[in-house]
Structure 1
């Protein structure tokens, strides 16, 4: 089953060589997903060895273990070490542990080097090359430099080892890190790690942590994806492009997913594409509607398993592979219900924004609600407001969108492009709540220049949703009516969970709003329409399969 425990239990075994104990322990403690117990070899041998998921050997005991050769308290090291590989308990051989038991064939087979005659050299500056950019331990890493002790001895053979890190230095073996299997166990060998210079290096810590996770039992260690993954971004104002990014690696508190569909967030992405108030500096990478299949489950995560289809609204961007935060109960992640199509679930984010807007406006049973704008946010707001028992009127300039809103349960629809349109709206008022989702310059029409001409009843609520730089409205009218002007942001976990349930139950309907489901290779044409003809788009999802 997938690795879903809160921590990976690690035995850090030393002996036979002095080292900076606090420094190494701090390196392990930098990963909150590791529960590390430091112990001498004697204690590990005589203790409960099966209590650990992974054993990290950092000892340099040189005498070949023999049956019952040590003191009574030391246990039987020969038997304990010979049992390695009998189970899937992971094994990490770190730094000088590669040199342990130089004449013992069993240890040579475990590390993958037959002749371990060695020399050592302190303080070498190394230019380390990533030899395998697709492996989960080194995926996404760049070549780097650091200073560490090195060994001169034979290298592991690439024939039965996967080489991860290499270096070209006259005082070092060529390969610094490699993986292999030993019996049923995975083994990670890592030549680095002499002192605090290495222990404090973020790259050392990252590689060590990933190595431990890779050898740990469970399906979370088995995933292999390409070293790079495709992503959508905006290199400059008005233009979308693809770029290849280092593939993400599953870390503590996350799940690694492969995208099935991602949903376009029409208003927000157009705002960013055209340099609106959400844009910031280019290049920009964005997207918060990701439906993916779980490939790996990190420590600290429960309730998710490899193979699950999930929706994440935590701004994971339009990417082929993405990391979704999943350890915090408030993370915006939910399993897609079995009776909901994945392409429909790719719009859960916008539906959740709309539900949050309706909740923020405190829409209640029997209230009269006006929704301005029949884009996706308006469509979902109309459905959510109706689900609360409100009477819903929705207005827009697009007759086709209004027809859709009517078919999805809106009680009244008003075409706002006609000369008498606001009078028609007023005839259906006054409204307890107005939800403005269009971003158009309509606040004077909604509030009027005098309280007697407002579409809101006294102490009504006006919720402003669409992004805009500035808000201007008639103060006297709003003051006279004591109008509440409300702002709503993104959405919360409870909004998302509720949307997933309401869609599953058929209360909120997404599929009639799903207009374009296109292969991601055709995304450029969609963004051109988003830029130049935004009214031509409604529900849009990219297919990454």
Structure 2
């Protein structure tokens, strides 16, 4: 074989190697822009509706529908949820019927992606399974835990919060660097031992872990504590967190 033939073969091999190296990135990009249909549940707490939904409208790969508490008795059943890839909770609601509890657990056991934001950590104070699902609990009142009284959780508005990335390799935090938010912090809330921290803060009045993943049944679950008002909703890094959380839980 002549020098020209060998040169051509080498070029072909190099080209194939480069193409193979790019394939995982191409697949990842396709997954990133896969269209997701999301159900957003609100109610029980006022919020900046315009800024909140403007954030979701900025997500090119997400379409959404809102439902407001009180939900119908068939909430969370298979028929109700089959049109959605994920459910985002931005609610703070307490009343839930036995039928809704069972349907909620089945929804998670079937593998529905669940994203919980900010004050949703204070929902369903009298339903122990909810704490296991979301991965924590904001205590509206002091509560006895194993003979020890856990004090009520605290909050403070308009705080400069330094958000640190705890796991840079996770899909939810992919591409994020440390950033600062003006937001509402929570202190003294409880977290489950099995959660996987995503973001943290060193603010003295905040619980250190402010974002995590959790698993309940087959469901992928993300909780993000930040998200009080437009300061968070308009921040590029917070938007990226929420969008990538939706992408990850909906597989």
TM-score range, shorter chain: 0.7 to 0.9
SS of 2:109 mapped into structure 1: coil
Instruction: Trace 1:83-98 onto structure 2 (pairs within 5 A).
Output: 83-98=106-121
Q: Is the 8 A contact 1:17 1:60 kept in 2?
A: yes
Q: Which consecutive unaligned segments of at least 5 residues does structure 1 have? A: 68-75, 218-545
SS of 1:85 mapped into structure 2: helix
Q: Is the 8 A contact 2:155 2:184 kept in 1?
A: yes
Q: Is the 8 A contact 1:178 1:189 kept in 2?
A: yes
Say which of 106, 125, 134 aligns to 2:160.
Answer: 125
Task: Look up the match of 1:59.
Answer: 91
Q: CA deviation at 1:201?
A: 0.8
SS of 2:184 mapped into structure 1: strand
CA separation in 2, counterparts of 1:49 and 1:185? 13
More helix by share: 2
CA separation in 2, counterparts of 1:38 and 1:44? 13
Q: CA deviation at 1:16?
A: 0.7
Q: CA deviation at 1:32?
A: 0.9
1:287-337 alpha-carbon deviations (Å, 9 max, x no partner): xxxxxxxxxxxxxxxxxxxxxxxxxxxxxxxxxxxxxxxxxxxxxxxxxxx
Task: Look up the match of 2:5.
Answer: none
CA separation in 2, counterparts of 1:84 and 1:175? 26
CA separation in 2, counterparts of 1:112 and 1:106? 10
Say which of 153, 162, 173 aligns to 2:196.
Answer: 162
Higher RCO, 1 or 2 (CA under 8 Å, sep at least 6)?
2
CA separation in 2, counterparts of 1:114 and 1:97? 9
Q: CA deviation at 1:78?
A: 2.8
Instruction: Trace 1:56-455 onto structure 2 (pairs within 5 A).
Output: 56-63=88-95, 65-67=96-98, 76-113=99-136, 116=139, 117-157=152-192, 159-217=193-251
CA separation in 2, counterparts of 1:60 and 1:166? 23
Task: Look up the match of 1:13.
Answer: 41
Q: CA deviation at 1:169?
A: 1.4
1:251-307 alpha-carbon deviations (Å, 9 max, x no partner): xxxxxxxxxxxxxxxxxxxxxxxxxxxxxxxxxxxxxxxxxxxxxxxxxxxxxxxxx
Say which of 32, 41, 64 aligns to 1:36.
Answer: 64
Q: Is the 8 A contact 2:122 2:138 kept in 1?
A: no
Task: Look up the match of 2:81.
Answer: 49
Kindly tell me the number of residue pairs found equivalent between the two proteins: 206
Q: CA deviation at 1:138?
A: 1.1
Q: CA deviation at 1:38?
A: 1.3
Q: CA deviation at 1:29?
A: 1.0
1:468-507 alpha-carbon deviations (Å, 9 max, x no partner): xxxxxxxxxxxxxxxxxxxxxxxxxxxxxxxxxxxxxxxx
CA separation in 2, counterparts of 1:134 and 1:80? 33
CA separation in 2, counterparts of 1:4 and 1:44? 33
SS of 2:110 mapped into structure 1: coil
CA separation in 1, counterparts of 2:161 and 2:155? 14
SS of 2:246 mapped into structure 1: helix
Q: Is the 8 A contact 1:42 1:77 kept in 2?
A: no
Q: Which consecutive unaligned segments of at least 5 residues does structure 2 have? A: 1-29, 140-151
CA separation in 1, counterparts of 2:74 and 2:182? 36
CA separation in 2, counterparts of 1:122 and 1:173? 15
Residues 5/23 of structure 1: CA separation in 2 closer, same or farther (3 Å cut): closer
CA separation in 2, counterparts of 1:107 and 1:80? 12
Q: Is the 8 A contact 2:122 2:137 kept in 1?
A: no
Q: CA deviation at 1:62?
A: 2.6
Q: Is the 8 A contact 1:108 1:115 kept in 2?
A: no
CA separation in 1, counterparts of 2:126 and 2:74? 23
Q: CA deviation at 1:132?
A: 0.8
1:91-143 alpha-carbon deviations (Å, 9 max, x no partner): 01111001101221011101222674422111110111111111111122111
Q: Is the 8 A contact 1:95 1:193 kept in 2?
A: yes
CA separation in 2, counterparts of 1:216 and 1:44? 24
The structure that has the greater radius of gyration is 1
